[in-house]
Structure 1
Amino acid sequence: MPIPFDIWSPPVSLATETDDLPDTATRGGETQGWAERIALGLFIGLPLLAFVVAIPVAWGGWLGWVDIAIALPMYFLTLHGITVGYHRLFTHKSFKPNRAVKISLAVLGSMAIEGPVVRWVADHRKHHKFSDRDGDPHSPWKYGNSTRGLVRGLWHAHVGWLFDAEQTPQRQYAPDLMKDRDLVWISRNFWAFTLLSLAIPPVLGGLITWSWQGAATAFFWGTIVRVGLLHHLTWSINSICHAVGDRPFVSRDRSGNVWWLAIPSGGESWHNLHHADPTSARHGVLRGQIDSSARTIWVLEKLGWVTDVRWPVKDRIEGKLVKNQQPAAA
């Protein structure tokens, strides 16, 4: 299927309301094969190994300003591809983008290497449907409230669930995305955006320094360390933010706000409000809560590239605060 080039025109549907949807919007099926598990293990294991050696490598002088100048923009661009694109747009429909923004966010999210957009959205919608109950793909409370059960559950919520053989049915949880030709094409070609994400840092590093060493250090910091850091920061929302944190808002699960994850997670760690009001474009709604993803959406709205943004309403927020709840009648 050729990619459409006129990204400014309205999206073209893959199927109408009465047409049958494809079985899957990704190259894999609804059951994870061994090849996928091996690839997933490598993408988790290699960055983790990089973390182990990152500090002594940096201390030894193998970290330069060129590496930082490449790694930081790559981190925050792909991070917001997940937070603004995969999460707030495609999963929760917090705003309406033009086609160029839609495609750009789907590509940047794919370059975070957290899976094809349609599969990611299906998983996250299922998480919200069963949050911290049976059926939740990644609740840290899966194995009970004991210390041993929570430790096991935190591992499951953070990374273990990614290896579950049975995948979330895309037709059931993301039929709207499966009708979108652009998003199906991007999902099916996730591998290409993975390669692009891996290649950009070393290519830039080599061209800027005009040396193989510059390419190698940029690959280490801008690709391996950047991907690993991004993965574990976003996965921490599944694990840490459902185990600890402040809960100023009423929600039907154990989602909490973890302030020290706010900046590196793009505001996603203001997780209690998100589960109290999932479609809100801003998660950090209280004073001092930094939310760079919401600010990104605000900029896009000011530029006229997105519309119908679901900004939080003061009365609605006030009504969801635990301190404002009426006591139950005796």
Structure 2
Amino acid sequence: MSVWGRWGNVGGVLVPVIGFVAAIVLLWDEAIAVRELLIMVVLYLLTGFGITVGFHRLLTHRSFEASGGVRVVLAVLGSMAVQGPVINWVADHRKHHAFTDEEGDPHSPHLSRLPGLLGGLSGLWHAHVGWLFTDEGRADRERYAPDLMRDPALRTIDRLFFVWVLLGLALPFALGWLLGGALDAALTALLWGGVVRIFLLHHVTFAINSLCHFLGRRRFRTDDESRNVAWLAPLSFGEAWHHNHHAFPTSAFHGLRWWEIDPGGWLIRALERLGLAWNVRRVAPERQAEKLLVPAAVARDRAEVRGSAGDART
């Protein structure tokens, strides 16, 4: 992929986000103010944690265990992010790991049959959103998520997906009405805390599928094109340490150095301290060092991972 191709792909992801920020600036005190922004941020955090901690780290990779109540709450919050029913999401992601960047991967950006720039653009489009509009490559639930299919609570949450979607829209509407005391305040809160929040979280999540398999840094030996994209990590709750994740898929923590921002990992650590999560999987410093791409960096990285706030333990 040429330099122009890469930057064209990045632009396709960033332009909608830039437009979103511009809309806040231009519409401030007209169609958005502190109330709407707070509602949007709170619901973004709740539904985003539902995806990264619930759908991804708990249910897909079983990187920790939790009580039935915690599993249900996280699964409902993740469903309110409107990224599909929980069992479908888990099955597709497990298939992604089984065939990463090879034929069979539901959303790799590297499988386009078109040449040059056109191939790069079509690949990124497919990885970012295009794969959602086709059944080709989607995972068989019975094959890739049999454990969830046997769970009565998760089957019910999966079946009631559209109820949770409506709840994710009803909550900002109700909060806007309660805090603003008028229909126009409720509708404005619905716009930002519902529609815009869903749009923003969608693009951040989709960027993990696209950008994080396209550009960024690699530290470990893996058989795929996964990358770490540091600037995306805060918005994605730590998911953008995607190369770390592909190197150690069952780790509860995607940020493996002390400075790698990983809010999803922070929440898991908090749940563990409260006794709501246990058997939390961590990656030992020695195991990280063994998988480094550059042997000369082993000594340096051993020192760094030992200082990773106690999360790089056996």
* TM-score bin (small chain): 0.7 to 0.9
Compared CA separation, residues 190 and 136, structure 1 to 2 (3 A): same
The 10-residue stretch of structure 1 (56-65 or 277-286) with the greater mean CA deviation from structure 2: 56-65
8 Å Cα contact 1:140-1:157 kept in structure 2: yes
1:136-155 alignment, distance < 5 Å: 136-143=105-112, 146-155=116-125
Aligned match of 1:132: 101
Paired residue secondary structure (2:235)? coil
> Are residue 156 (structure 1) and residue 126 (structure 2) matched?
yes
Amino acid at match of 1:160: G
The 10-residue stretch of structure 1 (170-179 or 209-218) with the greater mean CA deviation from structure 2: 209-218
Compared CA separation, residues 258 and 220, structure 1 to 2 (3 A): same
Aligned match of 1:99: 68
Aligned match of 1:69: 38
Aligned match of 2:7: none
Amino acid at match of 2:222: S
TM-score normalised by L of structure 1: 0.81
Paired residue secondary structure (2:58)? helix
| Pairwise CA distance, 1:165 | 2.7
8 Å Cα contact 1:63-1:217 kept in structure 2: yes
Amino acid at match of 1:121: V
Q: 1:245 aligns with which of 189, 198, 216?
A: 216
| Pairwise CA distance, 1:149 | 0.7
Note the alpha carbon deviations across 1:131-188, whole angstroms, 9 max, x for none. Answer: 0001100000011573221111000000000011344210000001000000000000
Paired residues in the alignment total: 279
Aligned match of 1:256: 227
8 Å Cα contact 1:237-1:268 kept in structure 2: yes
2:102 and 2:254 mapped to 1: Cα distance?
22
The 10-residue stretch of structure 1 (226-235 or 55-64) with the greater mean CA deviation from structure 2: 55-64
Note the alpha carbon deviations across 1:83-142, whole angstroms, 9 max, x for none. Answer: 000000110000000111111110111011101110000000000000000110000001
| Pairwise CA distance, 1:52 | 9.4
8 Å Cα contact 2:24-2:32 kept in structure 1: no
1:238 and 1:325 mapped to 2: Cα distance?
30
Q: 1:309 aligns with which of 280, 293, 300?
A: 280
Seq. identity, %: 49
8 Å Cα contact 1:57-1:63 kept in structure 2: no
| Pairwise CA distance, 1:56 | 6.6
1:198 and 1:169 mapped to 2: Cα distance?
29
1:1-330 alignment, distance < 5 Å: 51=20, 54-55=23-24, 58-59=27-28, 61-143=30-112, 146-166=116-136, 167-324=138-295
| Pairwise CA distance, 1:287 | 3.6
8 Å Cα contact 1:95-1:308 kept in structure 2: yes
Paired residue secondary structure (1:248)? coil
2:125 and 2:27 mapped to 1: Cα distance?
28
Which runs of no fewer than 5 residues in structure 1 stay unpaired?
1-46
1:254 and 1:247 mapped to 2: Cα distance?
9
1:58 and 1:312 mapped to 2: Cα distance?
46
1:53 and 1:180 mapped to 2: Cα distance?
44
Compared CA separation, residues 304 and 56, structure 1 to 2 (3 A): closer
Amino acid at match of 2:163: A
| Pairwise CA distance, 1:216 | 1.5
Amino acid at match of 2:150: K
